[in-house]
Structure 1
Amino acid sequence: MIERLHTGPRMSKIVKHNGTIYLCGQVGAGDGVSAQTRDCLARIDALLAEAGSDRGHILQAIVWLADMADFAEMNAVWDAWVPEGRAPARACGEARLARDALKVEIIITAAEAPAA
């Protein structure tokens, strides 16, 4: 069974299938890559919680930066957020994002967390 949450005409924010959770690309608000990354990761935390998971169950992350010059600054926020010993498979590249003000977009695939 496929479950879609927050579905619109173009995309769903969350898609669940066979214990795997797929999030649409998340962006953040704020000035600068650090603020946008923190906000983006907070949005990811909220969506994962709604889907029955958390950052410790992320399988893969794809990070797009508007400018690779921001790589170290984004990584400083990312590294503080990822649970120690639970880093997902990750790729990071430079891409033109949907709006000029955006500096980072993150796409997440995660496993559902076991029921408590």
Structure 2
Amino acid sequence: MSKITRAHTGTRMSQITTHGDTIYLAGQVGTAGESVAQQTRDCLDKIEILLAEAGSDKTRLLQCTIWLADMADFEEMNAVWDAWVPEGHAPTRACGEARLATPDYKVEFIVVAAR
């Protein structure tokens, strides 16, 4: 049976959960109140840090789910995302609109990666 490990665990959630060689990250948000581009950069920076801690990197992404507070921000978010994802390493991805934890959050990223 594969071991499950958790890191940065609080009452509600863990920031990183690993099962075997699969890494699951909690939803990452940026600095509340900033532009969607800045919040996207903040999210992707956090993802890189957490993946490195778990023994992986952005070339090992398997799946990404992105929630936007407003689909009108789709292109602005994608401009940052497209520059960040290494060529040839784009994961499967879904993007939709959802009300986020506070109105000041504009984007949230949830990723699964391989170790």
Q: TM-score, length-normalised on structure 2?
A: 0.96
Per-residue CA deviation, residues 50-80 of structure 1 (Å, 9 max, x unaligned), is: 0000000000000000000000000000000
Answering whether residue 21 of structure 2 is matched by residue 19 of structure 1, we say yes
- Partners of 1:25 and 1:58 lie apart in 2 by 14
Residue 31 of structure 1 aligns with an amino acid whose one-letter code is: E
Partner residue, 2:12: 10
Shift of residue 41, structure 1, vs aligned partner: 0.3
The equivalent of 1:50 in structure 2 is 53
Instruction: Report the counterpart of residue 109 of structure 2 in structure 1.
Output: 106
Q: Distance in 2 between matches of 1:63 and 1:33?
A: 12
Q: Give the RMSD, CA atoms, in angstroms.
A: 0.6
Of the three residues 36, 41, 44, the one matched with 1:41 is 44
Structure 2: any 5+ residue segments left out of the alignment? none
> Partner of 2:79 in structure 1?
76
- 3-state secondary structure, aligned to 1:31: coil
Q: What TM-score do you get using the length of structure 1 for normalisation?
A: 0.95
Cα deviations by residue, 1:22-63 (Å, 9 ceiling, x for unpaired): 000000115110000001100000000000000000000000
Deviant stretches of 4+, over 4 Å = none
Structure 2: which amino acid aligns with 1:26?
Q
Match of 1:94 among 88, 92, 97: 97
- How many residue pairs were aligned? 112
CA distance in 2, matches of 1:66, 1:26: 14
Structure 1 stretches of 5 or more lacking a match? none
Deviates more, 1:42-51 or 1:29-38: 29-38
